[in-house]
Structure 1
Amino acid sequence: MGKISKNKIAISGTTGFVGKNLENFFTQNNVKYKTISRLAFQKNKLSLISDCNCFVHLVGIGIETEKESFEEVNVELTKKIVDVCKKSKIKKIIYFSGLGVSSKSTSDYFISKFKAEQLIIKSGLDYTIFRPSYIIGKDDYLTRNFKKQIRKKKILIPGSGKYIIQPISIQDVCYIVNLASQSRNFSKKIIDLVGPEKISFIQFAKNSALRFNSKIEKISIKKSFDSALTEKKFPYGIEDLNILLGNFHGNYKKLKIISKMEFSRIKSI
Structure 2
Amino acid sequence: MRIFLAGGTGFVGGHLRRELVARGHSVRLLVHRRSGTQEPGIEQLEGDATVPSSLFAAARGCDATINLIGIIREFPQRGTTFERLHVEATRNLIHASREAGISRYLQMSALGTGPNARTGYFATKYRAEEELRNSGLDWTIFRPSVVYGPNDEFVNMLAGMIKALPAMPVIGDGSYQLQPIAADDVARCFAGALEIPETIGQTYALCGPDRLSYNELLDSIARVLGMKGVFKVRNPLALMRLVVPVLQRIPLFPLTSDQLEMLVQGSTCDGSWSATFGFTPQGFESGIRAYLKR
CA distance in 1, matches of 2:101, 2:154: 37
Q: Describe the SS at the equivalent of 1:252.
A: coil
Matched, 1:94 2:110: no
Q: Describe the SS at the equivalent of 2:47.
A: helix
CA distance in 2, matches of 1:208, 1:223: 26
Question: What per-residue deviation string (whole Å, max 9, x for no partner) do you get for residues 128-151 of structure 1?
Answer: 111110111112121132134233
Partner in structure 2 of residue 144 of structure 1 = 156
Asked if the contact 2:224–2:285 (Cα under 8 Å) also holds between the matched residues in 1, the reply is no
Using the size of structure 1 for normalisation, the TM-score is: 0.90
**Number of residues paired by the alignment?**
262
Deviation, structure 1 residue 28 = 4.3
Partner in structure 2 of residue 110 of structure 1 = 122
1:70-219 correspondence to structure 2 within 5 Å: 70-150=82-162, 151-212=164-225, 213=227, 215-219=231-235
Deviation above 6 Å: which 4+ runs of structure 1?
none
CA distance in 1, matches of 2:16, 2:56: 22
CA distance in 2, matches of 1:248, 1:174: 19
CA distance in 2, matches of 1:166, 1:194: 5
Gaps of 5+ in 2: 33-45, 288-294
Q: Could you say if the C-alpha distance between residues 153 and 25 of structure 1 is closer, same or farther in structure 2, counting changes exceeding 3 Å?
A: farther
Gaps of 5+ in 1: 1-6
Q: Could you say if the C-alpha distance between residues 225 and 139 of structure 1 is closer, same or farther in structure 2, counting changes exceeding 3 Å?
A: farther
Partner in structure 2 of residue 40 of structure 1 = 47
Matched, 1:23 2:42: no
Aligned equivalent of 2:246, options 230, 248, 256:
230
Q: Which amino acid in the other structure matches residue 17 of structure 2?
A: E
Deviation, structure 1 residue 244 = 1.4
Q: Describe the SS at the equivalent of 1:15.
A: coil
Deviation, structure 1 residue 85 = 0.7
CA distance in 1, matches of 2:105, 2:141: 8
CA distance in 1, matches of 2:166, 2:10: 27
Question: What per-residue deviation string (whole Å, max 9, x for no partner) do you get for residues 187-241 of structure 1?
Answer: 1101101112211111001222344445432211133333422333443222221
Q: Could you say if the C-alpha distance between residues 238 and 175 of structure 1 is closer, same or farther in structure 2, counting changes exceeding 3 Å?
A: same
CA RMSD of the aligned region, Å? 1.9
Asked if the contact 1:209–1:215 (Cα under 8 Å) also holds between the matched residues in 2, the reply is no
